Amino acid sequence: MEPDTVLEVERIFEEPRNVLFRAFTEPKVLAQWFAPDGWHVVPESVELDPRLGGRLRHTKVRDDDPARTWVIDGIYTEVFYPDVLVSQQRITGIEGIDPSRPVELRVEFSRQGQGKTLLRVVQGPYESQAAVDYAKVWESILDRLQAYIDGTGAAS
C-alpha cells in the first residue's frame, strides 16, 4: 500500500518563536529534548546545518533496550527564521515507516500574540496507522520540549 496520510500536531507554547526555532536548530539543545518518553537522543549523533541544502541527522535510542534505535537523516529544503523549517528525511528503525521512502517534515512557528507561539508539525506521507502512531510520538516529543523549556528558563 502506498503511504497517503500526513500527520498534523499543533501546540501553543508560552514562548516566542525564536526560542522554539532555536530549540529545533541548535544541536546541544535538540539533543536534550527531541525524543519521546522512553527514548533519548545520542548527543554526538546530532548534526544540524539549518540552511537550504544543509544536513540534519540524529539517532534516538530506547532507554531500556539500547539495541533499538531510530536514525533520522535528512536535508533542509526550506529554512525561514523564525517561521518555518522543512526537511526531506529518511527514517530508519520505526516499524511501519519505510526507510527507502523520504518523508517531509514541516515545522511552522506562528506568532500568537505577545510572546506565544503556535507550533505546528506536519509530516508524511505515512501509511494510515503509522501516521496515527507517529502523531502520538510527536505529542510526547512536544511534552519533552515544554519540560525542557520549563526546566531551563529557555525563554529568558
pLDDT digits (tens, 9 = 90+) for 98-129: 899 999 999 999 999 889 999 999 999 988 88
Name the phi and psi angles at 83, rounded to 5: -100, -40
3-class DSSP state for residue 76?
A: strand
Only one residue has cell 516566542, namely: 16
- Please list the alpha-helical segments (H only) found in the chain: 17-25, 27-33, 128-152
The pLDDT of residue 1 is: 59
Q: Are 155 and 30 in contact (CB under 8 A)?
A: no
The pLDDT of residue 156 is: 42
Q: Are 64 and 43 in contact (CB under 8 A)?
A: no
Q: Are 120 and 9 in contact (CB under 8 A)?
A: yes
pTM, full prediction: 0.93
The pLDDT of 28-56, averaged and rounded, is 97
Which tens digits make up the pLDDT trace of 10-28? 999 999 999 999 999 999 9
| CA contacts within 13 A on the Cβ side of 152 | 15
- Cα 137 from Cα 87, distance rounded (Å): 18
DSSP label at residue 87: E
Domains for the chain: give ranges and CATH numbers. 5-152 (3.30.530.20)
Which tens digits make up the pLDDT trace of 134-153? 999 999 999 999 999 998 75
pLDDT at residue 5 is higher than 80: yes
Give, in order, the Cα–Cα distances in Å from 66 to each of 34, 38, 70, 139.
17, 11, 11, 22
The pLDDT of residue 127 is: 86
Which segments of 93-135 are extended strands (E)? 103-111, 117-126
